[in-house]
Amino acid sequence: MSWLVLVVSGVLEAVWATALGRSDGLTRLVPTIVFAISIVLSMGGLAYAMRELPVGTSYTVWVGIGATLTVTVAMITGQEPASVVKVLLIAGIVGCVIGLKLLH
């Protein structure tokens, strides 16, 4: 159960990071509300997962999922340029996260 909560929390990290970027410095209401709710849920899920999983593994998986999804959304929406090298490096992050799960 902790792994599932950790993965969902990582997805929520991407949600809050994207919402924060779209909030214009917390001046736009809807992205600010999405940011606030998703960061609380994301941190709460991370804290829950850390009750059973090692801190280093939990944090690495959480950040890896969040960073991967955040940059993927940014590339898909055209807010960040995409390149073959960037996609391969992101795939490396995904591979490392999967490796941490398999080692656990």
Report the alpha-carbon distance of residue 68 to residue 73 in Å, rounded. 9
Nearest to 42 by CA among 5, 74, 72: 5
Whole-angstrom distance, CA of residue 52 vs CA of residue 33: 30
Kindly report the pTM of this predicted structure. 0.91
Tell me which residue range forms the domain holding 75.
2-103
Give the model's pLDDT for residue 20.
97
Banded pLDDT at 104 (limits 50, 70, 90): confident
Q: Structurally, how many domains does the chain consist of? A: 1
